[in-house]
Amino acid sequence: MTAAPQDYSNVTDPERALKYAVQHIAGDRAEIIEGVITPMSPSWAHENAADLIREQIGPCMRALGLRAGSGNLDLPLSENWYIPDLAVVPAELAKTEGALLPDQTLLVVEITSPTNADTDRTVKRRRYAQYGAPLYLLVDRQERTCTLFSQPGGRLGYTRAEGPHPFGTPVHLPEPFDTDLDTTDL
C-alpha cells in the first residue's frame, strides 16, 4: 500500500484537499465514504458494543503489545477516510498522530447503525479488503448477527466469511488473538 499522506497543508490535488477539509473543517468525528462526508455520532448502545469487544480482547492485546481505538484510517488514491468503531494495531503505531492504513491493522470492527448498516455490510467490507485489513468483524445490530471476514482478496473483497452468526454464538478470532468473542450482549 502507498504511505498515507501526513502533510495536508498547501494541498493541490482533490483527494488530499478533501481529506484536509474533513480533518480541519468537518471535525474529528467525520469520515469520507465514497466521496461523501459523513458525520459520526454513535449511540450509547453502539459504543457499548465496541467496549464489550475491547474488554474481551484486552488480555490478548496486552500480551501481544497491541492497542485498540477508533483512529483515522486513510485509503490512499480513493475518496475514502474511515473512522472504524474499533481497530487493533501494534502499540508503536498507536502513537501515530496521522492516519494509519487498513493493512497496518490486525482487526477492524464496524458496528452497524440504522443509518450506516448497508455501508458497513458492503462498501466498507470491500474497501477494507482492497486495502489489506486482515480481519474485518461486522457486528450487525439490525440483523443481530456477527460475521468475521478474512483473507483479503483485493478488489474481489474478502475470500473467507465466517457467519453470519446470531448474537449469542461465540465468534472465534484467529491468530494472533486466538480467542472466542462472547456476542450475547452486543
Instruction: Check whether the bond before 166 is cis (ω within 30° of 0).
Output: no
Q: What's the CATH code of the domain at 128?
A: 3.90.1570.10
Residues 75-104: pLDDT tens digits? 999 989 999 999 999 999 999 888 999 999
pLDDT of residue 24: 64
Q: Is residue 134 part of a domain?
A: yes
Residues in a beta bridge with 89:
67
pLDDT of residue 40: 80
Q: Which domain holds residue 166?
A: 45-72+82-181
Residues in a beta bridge with 166:
145
d(CA 146, CA 140): 6
pLDDT of residue 18: 74
Q: Is residue 158 part of a domain?
A: yes
Q: Is residue 58 part of a domain?
A: yes
d(CA 69, CA 14): 28
Domains identified in the chain, total number: 1
Say if CB 121 and CB 96 are below 8 A apart. no
pLDDT of residue 30: 83
Q: Is residue 35 part of a domain?
A: no
Residue written as grid cell 497543508: 9
Instruction: Provide the strand spans (E) within 34-144.
Output: 36-39, 66-69, 73-75, 80-82, 86-90, 107-111, 135-140
Q: Is residue 9 part of a domain?
A: no
Nearest C-alpha neighbor of 133 from the set 109, 111, 116, 162: 109
Residues 108-156: pLDDT tens digits? 999 999 988 999 999 999 999 999 999 999 999 999 999 999 999 867 7
The sheet with strand 36-39 has its strands ordered as: 36-39, 30-33, 80-82, 73-75
Q: Is residue 16 part of a domain?
A: no
Q: Is residue 8 part of a domain?
A: no
Residues 41-79: pLDDT tens digits? 788 999 999 999 999 999 999 999 999 999 999 999 998
Q: How confident is the model at residue 25 (pLDDT cuts 50, 70, 90)?
A: low
Q: How confident is the model at residue 10 (pLDDT cuts 50, 70, 90)?
A: low
**Strand 179-181, strand 135-140: pairing:** unpaired
pLDDT of residue 45: 92
pTM score of the predicted model? 0.88
Q: Is residue 53 part of a domain?
A: yes
